Amino acid sequence: MLSRNELKRVHSLQLKKYREIHNQFLAEGTKLVLEILDSGFSISGIYATTGWIRETSLPPASASIPVTEISESEMARITALSSPGPVLAVVNIPAPSPFPVNTGDDLMLALDDIHDPGNLGTIIRIADWFGIHHIICSEYTVELYNPKVIQSTMGYFVRVNLHYTNLPGFFSSLDPSVRIFGTFVEGKPVYSAALSPAGIIVIGGESSGISAETASFVTDKISIPSYPVNRGRKDRAESLNASVATAIVCSEFRRRSV
């Protein structure tokens, strides 16, 4: 049973303003909540239906987390989802990980205004799969703790660090030896371009791609060839979705490294 105040407070975390005030965010669904319980994140409270509580064995380390049994109609009033699941967790936002990070010996992503929450979530999941630990996000990239982002990561954000900063400022602070890759129509085909095991891959935003200012820092312009390569622009898709492009480029970098 939820008090009126508690209901209001949990529900408020759907909005960025209240996530900032309370320094907390929402995570919903069994898979996501268990992934977070299993991580280093601290959960301030779990709200779940009777059935979920009966059927789910929580890890011993979570014994101190308050679990509130709520009805489906209460869940419907706090959820950020159109089809709510049986469990919702209120998670404490951790302190940001140290930044700037060491850019010399690792592959990283830089996101130049990714606005779509589903794209950011998918990119985080791709980063986790390919062992990329740091994502540098432009200031206008959608917030990690947006419920739609958290849901679409499937919980895999727990091992990936996001840093929000001014991208040109970040790039100008780097050692000039750091290679910065970006996809451009006129870039070298990624399949044959000279890649490196370390460096930064810039992903352009959904609407306008890589901004001119960011582009000026790119040292290696690459492209994803469509097939067959001689098709005209009218005869194929003009571009790939941002998360799809991320997947293909990361896969090619890692293919070269194994």
Judged by the rule CB under 8 A, the positions of this chain that interact with a second copy are 38, 118, 122, 125-126, 128-131, 154, 156, 159, 189, 191, 224-229, 231, 234-237, 240-241, 243-244, 247-248, 251-252, 254-255, 257-258
Residue 105: other Cβ atoms inside 10 A: 7
From the CB of 18, what's the least distance to a second copy, in Å?
22
- Judge whether 67 and 89 are in contact, CB under 8 Å: no
For a second copy, which is the closer residue by CB, 125 or 134? 125
For a second copy, which is the closer residue by CB, 121 or 182? 121
For a second copy, which is the closer residue by CB, 53 or 244? 244
For a second copy, which is the closer residue by CB, 19 or 125? 125
Residues 6+ apart with CB under 8 A from 70: 1, 2, 47, 48, 49, 78
- Judge whether 226 and 103 are in contact, CB under 8 Å: no
- Judge whether 153 and 126 are in contact, CB under 8 Å: no
Burial bucket for residue 177 (CB in 10 Å: 0-12, 13-18, 19+):
exposed
**What tokens appear for 220 in the block?**
């290696």
Measured between alpha carbons, how far is 218 from 109 in angstroms, rounded to an integer? 13
For a second copy, which is the closer residue by CB, 18 or 130? 130
For a second copy, which is the closer residue by CB, 8 or 231? 231
From the CB of 127, what's the least distance to a second copy, in Å?
9
Residue 21: other Cβ atoms inside 10 A: 11
From the CB of 125, what's the least distance to a second copy, in Å?
5
From the CB of 70, what's the least distance to a second copy, in Å?
26
From the CB of 168, what's the least distance to a second copy, in Å?
29
From the CB of 45, what's the least distance to a second copy, in Å?
25
Measured between alpha carbons, how far is 130 from 162 in angstroms, rounded to an integer? 15
